[in-house]
Amino acid sequence: MPVKIIVGAQWGDEGKGKIVDHLSKNVDIVARYQGGANAGHTVVIGNNHYVLHLIPSGIFHPHVTCVIGNGVVIDPIALMDEIKQLTDLGIGIHGRLLISHNAHLIMPYHKLLDTIREQTSEKIGTTGRGIGPAYNDKFLRVGIRIADLLNREVFVQKLKRNIEEKNQILKKIYGSPELDVDKITTECEEFDKQIAEYITDASLYLNTAIKEGKQILAEGAQGALLDVDHGTYPFVTSSNPTSGGACTGLGIPPTSISSIIGVVKAYTTRVGNGPFPTEQTDEIGDRLRTIGGEYGATTGRPRRCGWLDAVSTRYSIMINGIQEIAITKLDVLDQFDYIKICTGYKFKGKFIKSFPTDASTLEAIEPVYETLKGWKESTSGITSYPALPKNVHHYIEAIEALLGTKVRMVSVGARRDQTILKD
Ligand code: GDP
Ligand code: IMO
Ligand code: MG
C-alpha cells in the first residue's frame, strides 16, 4: 500500500514542511489534504528559506507531482501568489500541480468575516485567512468549489447569492461596508485563467496512482491538537488535520494507507489562544522562542513556547495511529542545562489518565514533569544517531518510552542535510 501520511502531532509548526521535503526524495506524489493558507510550511535548501501555504512541500523535487486535495480550502489570491513566487524562482509548476475540482474557494468575504468575528466574538487567535467561514459555507452547502469556476453562469449565480447574504450579515450584524459582486467576479476571472490547466479529478488521479503502485505522501497541515473534532475545541482550526482527514480530504480509501508518521517538535509551541499546559512564560519560554526562531511562518506572530508534553502527544499518537515519530528542532535544546518532559496531568490533586480536550479542564490541570540533564553541546553538525551525545540518547529513549512509539528521524537543523535517520 503506497500512501504514507505525515501529520503534525502537536499544535502545528512541528516542522512538517522539512520532513515532507526530506521524504519526497523517494515518492512520486505529495498531496495536501486539509487546511488552507493558514498553514506555513518551511523548506530550507542551502541558504534559501521557502514558505509554502497551499502548494505541497514536495514541490522542490522536480520528479514529484503535487496535489491539492478536495479537503483544502483555496484562497485564489494566495495560490496565484505562491505559483508566481515559485515560477519566479525557476521552479517548474506546469504539469506538476493538480488541484481537486471539489476543493472549496476562500472568497474575500470569508477573510473579512474571519477578521471581524475575531474582533467581536471570543478570540480564537485565528490566522485571519478566512478558514472558519469557508469551511462553514462548505458544511452549509453554499460554498463555491473550484469546479464552479469552469461554468461562469453557475459561478456568478452562486457568488451573487453568497455576497447578497454576506452583505446582510456584514451590514446588519457588524455594521461593516458591503462587498461588490462585480469586483470579486473580475478577480476570479483572472484566477480562473491561471489555474484552469491544473484543475482535475484529484481523487481519480490518486486512486489510479495507488493502483499503479506509485508512492504517495499525504501532507497534513496544522496539528492534531488543532483538529476541529479531536483538538482543544474551540481553540482549534476548522478542519481535520488528523490522519483520518487524509482519506476524506483526498478521496482515497483507508485501505490504501501504509503508514502514519507523526512530526513532533522536541519541545512544544502554540500560536493563538487556548490551553497549553506546558507553556513557559518565563525566560525558558523566551529562550526557546529566540533560539528556535519561533515566530509564525504565516502571520509572523510570536509562538508560545514550552516543554514537550507527553500526555497530549500520546493522545495525538492514539487518535492518529502514529507508527513512527520524526523529532524536529532537537538542536534548539543544545544549550539547556536541563530539559523537562511533562509525564502526567493532575486535576484537582489527582492524576488523570486521559487527555482532556475540553478547554476549561485543560486550563485547570497541573502538569507533572520529569527532568533530564541537558547535553550542552552542538548537535547541528552531527549526521549519525550513534554520534549524538549520550544525554540526547537518554532524551530520545525517554520520549519513546513515554509515547510508546519509535523515533525514526531526528532533525538537528532546518537544512536538508541536518536530518538523522535512526533504526
Ligand atoms: P510546519 O508548519 O510544521 O511545516 O513548520 P514551520 O515551517 O511553520 O516551522 C518550523 C520552523 O522550524 C521552520 O522555520 C523550519 O525551517 C524550522 N526547522 C525545521 N526543522 C528544524 C530543526 O531541526 N532545527 C531547527 N533549528 N529549525 C528547524
Ligand atoms: P501549520 O500547517 C500553527 C492556529 C491559529 C489559531 C487556530 C485557528 O503551519 O502547522 P485558523 O486560521 O486555522 O482558523 O486559526 O489555529 N493555526 C496554526 N497554528 N500552525 C498552523 O499551520 C496553523 N494554522 C492555524 O493560530 O490558533
Ligand atoms: Mg507552520
**Ranges in the chain annotated CATH 3.40.440.10:** 3-101+198-261
pLDDT band at 347 (very low <50, low <70, confident <90, very high): very high
The phi, psi pair for 247, rounded to 5°, reads -70, -50
Mean pLDDT, the chain, whole residue set: 96
- Is 44's C-beta closer than 6 angstroms to any atom of ligand 1? yes
CATH 1.10.3720.10 fits 3-101+198-261, yes or no: no
Check residue 422 and give its pLDDT: 97
State which of 132-141, 154-163, 165-174 shows the largest mean pLDDT: 132-141
- Cβ atoms of residues 93 and 59 within 8 Å: yes
Tell me the average pLDDT across 47-52: 95
Tell me the average pLDDT across 184-190: 86
- Is 17's C-beta closer than 6 angstroms to any atom of ligand 1? yes
Tell me the average pLDDT across 162-190: 90
Check residue 297 and give its pLDDT: 79
Check residue 44 and give its pLDDT: 97
Percent of the chain with pLDDT over 90: 90
Check residue 188 and give its pLDDT: 85
Beta strands in 244-365 (DSSP E): 257-265, 268-270, 304-306, 308-309, 324-328, 338-347, 350-352
Give distance in angstroms: CA of 80 to centre of ligand 1: 24
Q: Is 322 left (phi over 0), alpha (psi -120 to 50) or beta?
A: beta
| Full strand arrangement of the beta sheet holding 3-8 | 199-200, 97-100, 65-68, 29-32, 216-219, 3-8, 257-265, 324-328, 406-411, 419-421
Q: Which residue has the cell 476562500?
A: 106
**Ranges in the chain annotated CATH 3.90.170.10:** 264-421
Q: What is the pLDDT of residues 100-109, one digit of tens each?
A: 999 999 999 9
**Ranges in the chain annotated CATH 1.10.300.10:** 104-194
Of the candidate ranges 85-89, 117-121, 250-254, 399-403, the one whose mean pLDDT is the lowest: 117-121
pLDDT band at 275 (very low <50, low <70, confident <90, very high): very high
Who wins on pLDDT, 193 or 227? 227
Task: Locate 7 and state its grid cell.
Answer: 501529520
Q: Mapping DSSP to helix (H, G, I), strand (E, B) and coil, where does residue 408 land?
A: strand
Task: Locate 75 and state its grid cell.
Answer: 484562497
pLDDT band at 242 (very low <50, low <70, confident <90, very high): very high
Tell which residue, 395, 20, 29, 422, has the closest CA to residue 207. Answer: 29
pLDDT band at 57 (very low <50, low <70, confident <90, very high): very high
Cβ < 6 Å from ligand 2: which residues?
8, 11-13, 38-41, 124-127, 129, 131-132, 221-223, 226, 237-238, 271-272, 297
Tell me the average pLDDT across 209-219: 98
Task: Locate 270 and state its grid cell.
Answer: 502554540
What dihedral do alpha carbons 143, 147, 149, 154 form, nearest 10°? -70
Give distance in angstroms: CA of 275 to centre of ligand 3: 19
Q: Which CATH class is domain 264-421?
A: alpha beta
User: What dotted CATH number matches 104-194?
Assistant: 1.10.300.10
Is the confidence at residue 378, as pLDDT, over 90?
yes
R_g of the chain computed on alpha carbons: 21
Tell which residue, 349, 125, 344, has the closest CA to residue 234. Answer: 125
Give distance in angstroms: CA of 282 to centre of ligand 1: 22
Atom of ligand 1 nearest to the CA of 297: 8
